[in-house]
Every structure is written in C-alpha cells, then in structure tokens.
Amino acid sequence: MALTLCISATEEGASDLVEKGPRRDFLELAARSGGKIVYREEGRRRRGLSARLLGPHVWQAWAVAREARGGDVVFADGEHVGLPLVLFLALLRRRGCRVVMLGHLLTRWWKLVLVGVCTRTGVTGCIVVHSAEQQRRVRRWVSGHWTMELVAYQVDTRFWVGEPFEADGETPLVLAVGSENRDYDTLVAGVDGLPLRMVIAAGSHWARRTAAVAGREGIEYIDRPLPF
C-alpha cells in the first residue's frame, strides 16, 4: 500500500509558503506516513485545447489515477482534484484504491450531483469537511460506502506565538483575511463606531476573485496575499 498526496499548489508556490509561514498539513502528513507528494506541475504536461478546457487540476488527477494501484490511498486537498480523481480511478478500474478528499465548498448544486455520482462508482473513501453545516447538507448525497469526517481548521501553535495583548494604551486590532466567500461589508458595518483598528487582508493564493470592501474610511485594506 502506498500513500499519494495530490496537492493543487505548485511546488514553487508551496515552498514559498512554507519558507515564510506556518507548517503545512500535507507536508506533516507526508513526513509522518512516508507518502509521496504530487504537486500541480505533474498534472500539467499536456498542451493544446484539451489542456486549456480541462485545466491543470483535472490532468493532475488523471496522472495520479494512472499511477495508482490496488490498496493505495490517495489524498486530495480539494474537491476540484478529488472528484475527477474518483471518476478516473473508476474508469481505470482502480476500485481497490481509497480516496481521502478535503471538501471546501461542496454545497453548490452541481458539486452535490458530482458527489452523489462519484461516491457510487465503486471507489471508496472519506470526505473531510471543515464546517458542520457543510457536513449536514452534504451527508445525504454521499453513498453509504463513504464516510464523512468533520475536522476544524488548524492553527500552527509553533508559528502563531505572540505576547498577550495589553489593553492599556493600545488600540484593539481586528484582522480579517481571505477572499473566498467573504462578506467584508457586513463585517465593517458591524464594527462601525467601535474604538478599534481594522485591517482586511483580502489577497489570496487560491481564490479566483478578490473580496472587496465598498468605500470605507478608517479601514486598512490589503489586496495581496500576506507573506505566510
């Protein structure tokens, strides 16, 4: 049995994040299990119309599925890789493989349909979600041959270590980060008039769109990823 970790980031991008920020879960998992990491470049060797239409993550899933053998476990860090991976494993009759897939936003209708189809192909596995609401809404679509696990987002306590905040003489700071499915206008309205400093770092390495804030004074807005 072999463990393969299918990571949607490029190796260069992942190295940059690791150098400047907290530990990465997939690196810790690979180190503890002896698993092999497959970065996005390895699924992006094809050129032409098909490569542009399907995208690098689908080709990455195809490359990993072709190498998989019975008894192997494949970890996918998102449904954009995990769902096509399951379909390819079924197509190649690699039903002895097991897939562990992170699910970030599975409640869109077309993803729910794909979850229902993929979990009934004969390939078994587990879907890991970070939200109790996602778990509740997705569970009824998942075949009984699959399991669902709720795992909260983690904090690297070796990296995020600071001094306790002292209120005397200090202005409280509210820091909000990320772009995917953020509603910063509501957040800003909620703290309007409070004696605090707010910084919004809406840059993201992963989101297709950058969350924005309508013209607001007194808000420090950063539209690029933080260096960690």
Domain boundary among 150, 165, 187: 150
* Sequence-ordered list of residues with C-beta below 8 angstroms from that of 147, at least 6 positions apart, any chain: 125, 126, 127
194 with 133, same domain: the answer is no
Q: Which residue has the higher pLDDT, 167 or 162?
A: 162
Quick check: is 39 in a domain? yes
- Least trusted range by pLDDT, from 12-26, 70-84, 126-140, 164-178: 164-178
**Model pLDDT, residue 214:** 72
Position 109 in a domain: yes
- Which one is predicted more confidently, 149 or 171? 149
Calpha distance 82→75 (Å, rounded)? 8
Lowest mean pLDDT among 17-26, 85-94, 143-152: 17-26
The angle subtended at Cα 176 by Cα 169 and Cα 19, nearest 5°, is 100
73 and 180 co-located in one domain: no
Q: Are residues 22 and 75 in the same domain?
A: yes
Q: What is the CATH number of the domain that holds 42?
A: 3.40.50
Domain containing 203 equals 173-222
**Cβ atoms of 86 and 123 closer than 8 Å:** yes
In this prediction, residue 48 has a pLDDT band, given cuts at 50, 70 and 90, of: low
Whether residue 218 is predicted with pLDDT greater than 90 in this model: the reply is no
pLDDT at position 40 is 86
What average pLDDT score do residues 10-28 get? 82
Identify whether 161 is part of a domain.
no
Same domain, 132 and 179: no
- Report the Cα 61 to chain-centroid distance in Å: 15
Looking at the fold, whether 14 and 103 belong to one and the same domain comes out as yes
Query: Alpha-carbon distance 221 to 217, whole Å?
Result: 10
Domain co-membership, 183 together with 139: no
At position 112, the amino acid (one-letter code) is L
The answer on 138 and 177 residing in a single domain is no
Which pLDDT score, from 0 to 100, does residue 93 have? Answer: 94
Report the range of poorest mean pLDDT among 72-81, 88-97, 165-174: 165-174
- Residue 8: both structure tokens together: 């949607």
Residue 110 resides in a domain: yes
**What rounded mean pLDDT belongs to the chain?**
85
| pLDDT surpasses 70 at 207 | no
Instruction: Based on the fold, state whether residues 22 and 69 are members of the same structural domain.
Output: yes
Q: Quick one: 87 and 195 in the same domain?
A: no
What is the domain count for the chain? 2
pLDDT tens digits for range 93-123? 998 999 999 998 899 999 999 999 999 999 9
**Residue 168 within a domain:** no
Q: 53 and 131: one domain?
A: yes
Same domain for 32 and 70:
yes
Q: Determine whether 25 is exposed, middle or buried from the number of CB atoms within 10 Å of its CB (0-12, 13-18, 19+).
A: middle
60 and 93 inside one domain: yes
